[in-house]
């Protein structure tokens, strides 16, 4: 990409947990520059630094901290919007913004399973972006990334599905606290505890996985014909979802073939050299006690999935552990990579995006 | 049981994590009274209170704290011994003690899979106690309980296997810190982390489960013909192993039948009214976010398994979550219940056990 | 106390963190029996078990779980009420209930510093109960216990103040999560962190300590003339406030005298044999690494303070560490002990309290 | 500094917790290049990557991981050595290495209080480097940094001592797990707990603070005449020591003056532009709930101290909270800054240090 200037973007719902990640990841992005931050009416009009309860260890960029928060509504002064809106409001607001001509790349769950909305993991199903052409919004479009626990899973499943076909997947997750947003899980609930339930999470993993791994047809996405069982747990880890996976393959494969498929996985974001693309997208590790949330979640800036403990499964065919950063790869970073992909593939014509020179102060 | 006096018992390896649990659970036991505590040569001769780094929230009983630690070797002044010995030394020492006429009820892994050694979960396979008759020790005998993560699992599997037959089991564990003994897992390793590996644990779960659920034959125990896959994780919880399980049944069953089998489970320890027997052995809970380690591990004094989230599995037949206290039901309490069973069934003739009157001081 | 039957009591704000402790501690109380549980209008009419998010490891008593929640307002069918109301509503409601003739023993902060309201730690200032006679409510009365962090502190200070006089106190707290109520501190805020601030806590410790240690005069309580500095931190511990204290004494004392004063402390609740009185109220421990929150918070059913590491201070005179259970001794249990004291001293005439026989269902 | 090539350095005790930090911080240092890593005889001969249990979230540099571990003894092929040796062996080994001509910059406690050994915090007492001239080692020299908890404290105390004089300091620490090295604190000991004792820590804080703030005289360092009381606690935080401090000043000062002294603090490392010098060395923050370990420990790459909650103290004069990263500023980073200072001031003549070109492999 040869941009004359950075493209101005907005972050919707910028004060929440995922919103803060968007702000942090976009603060020094080579293509994008934050021009507007929105939040609820209650926060609108305040300086971002005053309204946000900043919880990341990287300090808040001072220019961004000084931005005045806008309410989330059409008329925002930049075409490309990243949505970290709460599901309670995202459904209508994102539709309205797309109708007003905005490109909305959303982390919210509301539109993910809509027939005409691409649900994208750029390494896995970049071709699904074409779905967006079916959207009848007035010039705008909605693109979505899957749920945080689904993204890590499909990054590991995609090379196996591509190479051998998958027929069944069992996954048990150990999910991080930051996935629950703000205020999220009370400390007295999770301290010295495991909570073996996350509302709606298993259903999302079981349905979204099939859409992402599905096949684009003239009628939309045909879900992949895989039996998926997800059991989700919350554990006392700040960031990084650990997932224990067992898979059944459509055709026999040796352990070395399975490892080679994972280790050799590369895809369009890597080939296009997108700024947020991890190299490699799936890191295969050999240590018998890895991946570990605290030690591996930051790999490739938090954008890579780490897979370890690949070994045969006495019940299905193979089992392994996959770990990914839930608020970077699994949310804000995943959305940003979709925007980069859409831009690089011309779905979002860069020339139509007003440049950021005027957004600077 | 109508005992004229309590039976004197010894605890081998009494300063470790499981040893402390034995001491705590036996401090006020209606049948047993601790007469001797052993530890390594380094601790022998010290007062127990001075040698142990007591880590339980119940205070150490003052009479027991004042006992002088003995070295672990034959000649101990009571026939019934509970072993919390380290696996490095348990193998030879337990054999030697059995040869010297002691009844050794052991939590160590060394003899569990021996052909002539019963591996017992009293609610599940009390008939396996008969195996002990094959032991050729000089009057003594070795009885064992399974690994902590296996005990909780088989308590939940047993009623299903009995009612419907099991053909496959997938289990992913989230195991507590206390399971690793002392000093165990360094805090810097597990803080803000999940460790997806516990040395030897998966192998133990996969083999011990089959022996416990197996059939006693004239040639020994024939392992149950079930495919078992275990994936084990360490999480930052003090006590209580959480296990996410999926099972395949040999014959079809509705969800209500499955629930009824679990909720209705009762067995010999309950019928015999053994002092440590939980009522019920498997507590079936309906709340969608239970069992939880901190809230459910103490059920029935830590001796019951709690099962929740019973629901169909898209890959196998049913899935659920089982939780049990790893150092009570899964270790010391499990051994004590075995001794109670053996005594109640006459395998250990109470009249042959010297009474505790002389053991008091 | 020779009661013909238990006294019926109510718990106001029964669904919160302290409310649950009241319910748990009163479930098997020898003098009191819960007749009514109240909560906000939103919960009124529901079964308690359905409205509460029970977070204690002791299971909820089934009789109490079946009680129907009442709204908090005058006309409740028992005279003695324990208040775990939120400070936002406690001020007016407690006054109104006292006017209606109720004896309100409150954990809320609102009336603690009122001139005519006793602020009581039964071992420290039982004579302050007499203040209640000044209240002009219509037959009713309000009694209060101090803030959770203050109670542990004054239990340790009282014997020193009595024996040597205190002129200055420095305290730095490491406070547990349960002190923040429900939902309390978000897990993402405290995980892998210390928060060096608790709103209003330092002010409460600095003022309440002086009232509790103060002298009852005809004009009310004259605050003790002690300089107190409190610095409060939140740490990732479930229960148990740890406090590092340095004190300056009015008259010189050797370390042995200081230790003797602490170890020998006993007071009216112990002499009266009140059911919830700890023996001793202050446990002095010698191990160099105690008290520890997890190991010592349960001492005497959570009602004792544990003091350790008594040693000279290079800046003031002596320093030590005190630990107490913040929701038992520091809240619900502290209130219950006040009610026991008031009853035993005749401030609440037992004969005027309708007996509980009719309250049973 | 205008270096023709990087200076080769060694890290002694490279597999421990502080050793790993040295390796991580030196991996991309502009002046230094690791030429040799040492560890115990047991690890010598292994590849570093195989011998170390790497516990930092930054991945281990692959060139350094491939280095072969040397035993720690004279004859190492570079003059400048950073010591993360255990105190059990550091005393003799460091002396021996200095005698062999090495410049040893040590984090070990053994030589800190030696009369002729500089104990340096570069912003506080850079002049103390001159002490090294008294050392009679054969060309070599030992330089030391204080204990991790002392460094954060003196960074905050130095500007106050310089501006107003200090006469008394009370400090209570909440110290991180990584300060205990490897394996360090067992997880079962600290989980859901506070440990109010760290062996030797209070003594170190009370003595080292006085040496660092002391005055260099012809006879050595005269300790600062300040009464210091330290109370040390271990809490469940990975990195970052939180310290609650109260100080008494020699001359009266208003709160604004105190704040100005802290905020305006700058010193020789900043003026010399040393690569690891933080800007500013003490960050003064205004938010009422800061500094927080997880959010502030990384400030200026972990080299700055963060001070917050400056306010009057009812017992002494002022109180505040200071936070610093214990294994960066408080250990490895502190040593590296000393080496940078010594080099920039010519104490270590760069021309005498063999350049690194030959050290590469």
The residue whose two tokens read 């006096």 is B5
Which residues lie closer than 8 Å to B12 by C-beta, 6 or more apart? B19, B38, B72, B81, B82, B83, B84, B85, B93, B97, B104
Query: C236 — contact with chain B (CB < 8 Å)?
Result: no
Contacting D residues, span 74-103, partner chain C, CB-CB under 8 Å: none
pLDDT, residue A158, reads 98
Alpha-carbon distance B135 to nearest alpha carbon in chain D (angstroms):
38
Return the pLDDT at C356: 42
Confidence of residue A74 (pLDDT cuts 50, 70, 90): confident
Q: How would DSSP label each residue in D262-292?
A: HHT---HHHHTT-TT--SSSEEE---TT---
What residues of chain D lie within 8 A of the CB of A299, using their CB?
Answer: 59
Low-confidence ranges of chain D (pLDDT < 70): 1-3, 349-361
Residues 6+ apart with CB under 8 A from B26: B9, B11, B32, B33, B34, B82, B336
Q: Is C102 a catalytic residue?
A: no
Within 10 A of D246 (CB to CB), how many other CB atoms are there? 25
pLDDT value at B359 more than 60: no
Please give the pLDDT value at position C355. 45
For every residue of A157-199, DSSP letters joined together read: HHHHHHHH-EEEEEEEEEE-GGGG-SS-SBHHHHTT--B---T
**pLDDT recorded at residue C360:** 35
Mutate to test the interface with C, among D152, D167, D229 (most CBs of C within 10 A): D229
In C44-75, which positions are buried (b, 16+ CB within 10 angstroms) versus exposed (e)? eeeebeebbebbbeeebbeebbebebbebeee
DSSP codes joined into one string, A270-314: HHHT-TT--SSSEEE---TT---HHHHTTHHHHT-EEEEEEEE-S
Q: Which residue has the higher pLDDT, C75 or B299?
A: B299
pLDDT at A47 over 90: yes
Question: Are C120 and C126 spatial neighbours (Cβ–Cβ below 8 Å)?
Answer: yes
Closest CA to D13 of D61, D85, D91, D73: D85
Nearest-5° Cα angle at A78, A74 to A84: 70
The sign of the CA dihedral D31, D36, D37, D40 is: negative
Task: Give the pairing type, strands D318-324 and A7-12.
Answer: unpaired
Residues D297-327: tens digit of each pLDDT: 999 999 999 999 999 999 999 999 999 999 9
DSSP H stretches of helix in chain D: 17-26, 48-51, 62-65, 87-99, 148-164, 187-190, 201-212, 255-263, 268-271, 293-296, 299-302, 333-344
B57: which chain D residues are within 8 Å (Cβ-Cβ)?
none
> Is A191 among the residues known to form the active site?
no
Q: Are D84 and D226 in contact (CB under 8 A)?
A: no
d(C-alpha D157, C-alpha D226), whole Å: 11
For strand D220-222 and strand D282-284, is the pairing parallel, antiparallel, or unpaired? unpaired
Contacts of B298 (CB under 8 A, 6+ apart): B325, C57, C58
- Looking at chain C, how many residues does it have? 361
Q: At B356, is the pLDDT very low, low, confident or very high (cuts 50, 70, 90)? A: very low
pLDDT at position D139 is: 79
A309 φψ region: left (φ > 0), alpha (ψ -120 to 50), beta (else):
left
Cross-chain CB nearest to B57 (options C58, C191, C294): C294
Tell me if the domain spanning D7-145+332-358 has CATH number 3.30.300.30.
Answer: no
Cα–Cα distance, A14 to A43 (Å, whole number):
10
C-alpha distance from B61 to closest chain C C-alpha (Å): 13
According to DSSP, the residues that pair with C37 across neighbouring strands are C11
More confident of the two residues A359 and B84: B84
Mean pLDDT of chain A: 94
Give how far A192 is from chain D: nearest CA, Å: 7
CA distances from D298 to B47, C233, C343, D301 (A): 47, 20, 56, 5
Q: What pLDDT, on a 0 to 100 scale, did the predictor assign at position A352?
A: 54
Asked if A59 has any chain D CB less than 8 Å from its own CB, the reply is yes
> If chain C, 361 residues long, is cut into consecutive pieces of 10 residues, what is the mean pLDDT of each piece?
83 96 97 97 95 92 96 92 96 95 96 97 97 86 98 98 98 97 95 98 98 96 98 98 98 98 97 97 97 97 98 98 98 98 85 45 33
Q: Residue A354: its pLDDT value, please?
A: 53
If you write DSSP's letter for every residue of D46-94 in order, what string do you get? SBHHHH-----SSPPPHHHHTSBPEESSS--S-SEEEE---HHHHHHHH
Peptide bond preceding C145 in cis form (omega within 30 of 0): no
Ranges of CATH 3.30.360.10 domains, chain A: 148-326
A279 at the B interface (CB within 8 A)? no
**Cβ separation D192–B55 shorter than 8 A:** no
The candidate with the shortest Cα–Cα distance to B335, out of B128, B61, B119, B95, is B119
Closest CA to D37 of D25, D53, D20: D20
Q: Please tell me which residue in B29, B111, B137, B148 is annotated as part of the active site.
A: B148
Q: B315: which 2 tokens?
A: 């890959």
Among the ranges given (A19-28, B31-40, C347-356, D150-159), the one the predictor scored with the smallest mean pLDDT = C347-356
Contact A172 B244 (CB under 8 A): yes
Which of the other chains make 3 or more beta carbon contacts under 8 angstroms with chain D?
Answer: A, B, C
Question: What residues in D contact C168, CB-CB < 8 Å?
Answer: 315
| Contact yes or no for B315 and A228 at CB 8 A | yes
pLDDT at A123: 98
Q: What is the pLDDT of residue A359?
A: 37
Token pair 């630690």: residue = B69
How much of chain B is helix, strand and coil, in % rounded to 5?
A: 35, 25, 45
Sheet containing strand D32-39, strands side by side: D70-71, D32-39, D7-12, D80-83, D103-106, D141-144
Please tell me the predicted confidence (pLDDT) of residue D290: 97
* CA D66 – CA B272 distance, rounded (Å): 63
Question: CA separation (Å) from C195 to A187, A357, C79, D222, D232?
Answer: 13, 41, 40, 37, 17
Percent of the residues in chain B that have a pLDDT greater than 70, as a whole number: 96
**How far apart, in Å, are the Cα atoms of D241 and each of B191, C13, C192, C320, D265?**
16, 38, 12, 21, 21
Question: What would be the CATH architecture of the domain defined by D148-326?
Answer: 2-Layer Sandwich (3.30)
How far is residue D350's CA from residue D3's CA, in Å, rounded to a whole number?
Answer: 8
ipTM score for this prediction: 0.95
Contact yes or no for B187 and D189 at CB 8 A: yes
The superfamily (CATH) of domain C148-325 is: Dihydrodipicolinate Reductase; domain 2 (3.30.360.10)
Nearest of B37, B35, B32, B34 to residue B12 by alpha carbon: B37
Chain segment A212-248, per-residue pLDDT in tens? 999 999 999 999 999 999 999 999 999 999 999 999 9
Question: What pLDDT does D75 receive?
Answer: 87
Q: Are D82 and D10 in contact (CB under 8 A)?
A: yes
Per-residue pLDDT reduced to its tens digit, A128-152: 999 999 998 777 999 999 999 999 9
Q: Which of residues 141-200 of C touch D (CB under 8 A)?
A: 168-170, 172, 174, 191-197
Of D110, D213, D206, D112, nearest to D155 (Cα)? D213
Q: Residue A130 forms beta bridges with which residues?
A: none
What is the pTM for the complete model shown? 0.96
Residue D303 CA to residue D306 CA, distance in Å, equals 10
For A56, nearest residue in chain D (alpha carbons): D295
């Amino acid at each position: 990409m040869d941009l004359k200037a950075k493209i101005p973007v907005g972050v919707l719902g910028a004060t929440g947990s995922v919103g803060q990640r968007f702000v942090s990841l976009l603060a020094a992005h080579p293509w994008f520059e934050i021009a507007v931050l929105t939040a609820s009416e209650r926060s609108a009009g305040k300086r971002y630094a005053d309204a946000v309860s900043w919880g990341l260890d990287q300090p808040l960029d001072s220019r961004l901290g000084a931005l005045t928060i806008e309410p989330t509504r059409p008329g925002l002064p930049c075409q490309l919007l990243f949505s970290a809106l709460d599901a309670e409001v995202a459904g209508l607001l994102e539709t309205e913004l797309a109708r007003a001509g905005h490109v909305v790349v959303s982390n919210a769950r509301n539109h993910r399973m809509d027939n005409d909305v691409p649900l994208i993991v750029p390494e896995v199903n970049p071709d699904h972006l074409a779905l967006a052409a079916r959207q009848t919004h007035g010039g705008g479009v909605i693109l979505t990334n899957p749920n945080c626990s689904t993204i890590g899973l499909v990054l590991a499943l995609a090379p196996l599905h591509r190479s051998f076909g998958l027929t069944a997947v069992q996954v048990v997750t150990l999910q991080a606290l930051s996935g629950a947003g703000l205020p999220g899980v009370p400390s007295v609930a999770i301290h010295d505890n495991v909570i073996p339930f996350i509302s709606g999470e298993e259903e999302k993993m079981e349905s979204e996985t099939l859409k992402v791994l599905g096949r684009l047809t003239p009628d939309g996405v045909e879900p992949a014909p895989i039996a998926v069982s997800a059991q989700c747990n919350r554990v006392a880890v700040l960031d990084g979802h650990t997932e224990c996976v067992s898979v059944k393959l459509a055709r026999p494969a040796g352990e070395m073939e399975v490892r080679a498929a994972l280790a050799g996985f590369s895809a369009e974001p890597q080939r296009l050299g997108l700024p947020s693309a991890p190299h490699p997208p799936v890191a295969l590790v050999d240590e018998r006690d890895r991946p570990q949330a605290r030690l591996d979640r930051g790999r490739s800036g938090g954008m890579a999935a780490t897979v370890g403990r690949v070994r045969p499964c006495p019940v299905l065919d193979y089992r392994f552990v996959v770990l990914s950063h839930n608020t970077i790869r699994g949310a804000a970073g995943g959305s940003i990579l979709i925007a980069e992909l859409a831009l690089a593939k011309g779905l979002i014509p860069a020339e139509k995006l007003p440049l950021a020179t005027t957004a600077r102060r």
